[in-house]
């Protein structure tokens, strides 16, 4: 049992809906870290650097959700290779010398969510990704780990996808940017559809997405999303944003505490609020 006071938190805007506190608090209890505290802090990308600079030595780590993932990478003193490669960080870890290291456990979240939902490997080797933000960058890195080789990126403003295209190419993926079309014209030729856009934005795409062999919808609030309902109504394979949240949190807990994550305890805690 450790009663030494330590603090961690999730930063985001909005952040009140975040379930990261549920996962981390359950993990700390299971690990006997009774002096540890984990909070949710409203913080946008502009405020993130100043907030991090003002944290005391009791702070061990930060989970970072939208819209601060690129700001977190920029603020870090050190960066893991994969965080640099995806140009985003969802994790800031306090190093022994007081500096901050950025990582991207979102990649683990993508692969873990798909595998736990029954992903058996690529067929065509192609995926359709909706959106081109920081989460989409982690998605394409995860898809590369799962041996997909081609990705089609659907966005409303193709010029904004340049960063994601660069990330995909770093991971050896062939990438094509297409204009937003809720009918998802290419859905018949892909193994997987991944929606990384905010809640509600992908709702018109739900009927078409349900035709894909596998779907990952990263939104988990409110749940279930129309896309999740559409997939489940036809008996399709679905990986959820809750699955992704759980699997990305394992790595954060381990980096914050230096101990193996109590995975079953964390999964049970999340299941209790679904």
Catalytic residues: 69
Cα separation values, 38 from 33, 89, 151, 158, Å: 11, 19, 37, 38
Distance CA 129, CA 151 (A): 7
Concatenate the DSSP letters of all residues of 166-214 into one string. Answer: HHHHHTT-EEEEEE--TT-TTGGG-SEEEE-SPTTTTGGGHHHHTTSSE
Distance CA 66, CA 14 (A): 8
The β-bridge partners of 6 are 36
Residues 109 and 138 sit within 8 Å (Cβ to Cβ): yes
- DSSP reduced 3-state for 238: strand
Distance CA 30, CA 233 (A): 37
């Amino acid at each position: 049992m450790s009663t030494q006071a330590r603090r961690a938190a999730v930063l985001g805007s909005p952040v009140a809906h975040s379930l990261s506190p549920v996962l981390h608090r359950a993990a700390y209890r299971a690990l006997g870290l009774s002096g540890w505290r984990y909070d949710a802090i409203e913080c946008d990308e502009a405020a993130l650097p100043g907030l991090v600079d003002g944290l005391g030595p009791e702070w061990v780590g930060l989970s970072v959700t939208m819209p601060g993932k690129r700001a977190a990478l920029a603020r870090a003193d050190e960066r893991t290779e994969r965080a640099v490669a995806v140009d985003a960080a969802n994790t800031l870890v306090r190093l022994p010398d007081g500096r901050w290291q950025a990582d991207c456990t979102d990649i683990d979240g993508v692969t873990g969510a798909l595998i736990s939902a029954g992903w058996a490997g690529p067929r065509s080797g192609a995926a359709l990704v909706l959106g081109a933000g920081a989460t989409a960058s982690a998605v394409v890195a995860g898809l590369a780990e799962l041996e997909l080789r081609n990705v089609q990126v659907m966005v409303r403003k193709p010029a904004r996808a340049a960063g994601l295209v660069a990330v995909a190419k770093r991971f050896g993926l062939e990438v094509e940017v297409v204009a937003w079309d809720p009918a998802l014209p290419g859905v018949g030729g892909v193994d997987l559809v991944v929606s990384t856009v905010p809640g509600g934005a992908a709702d018109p795409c739900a009927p078409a997405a349900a035709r894909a062999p596998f779907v990952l919808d990263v939104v988990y609030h409110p749940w279930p999303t129309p896309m999740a309902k559409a997939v489940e109504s036809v008996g399709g394979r679905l990986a959820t944003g809750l699955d992704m949240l759980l699997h990305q949190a394992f790595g954060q807990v381990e980096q914050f505490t230096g101990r193996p994550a109590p995975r079953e305890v964390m999964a049970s805690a999340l299941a209790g609020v679904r």
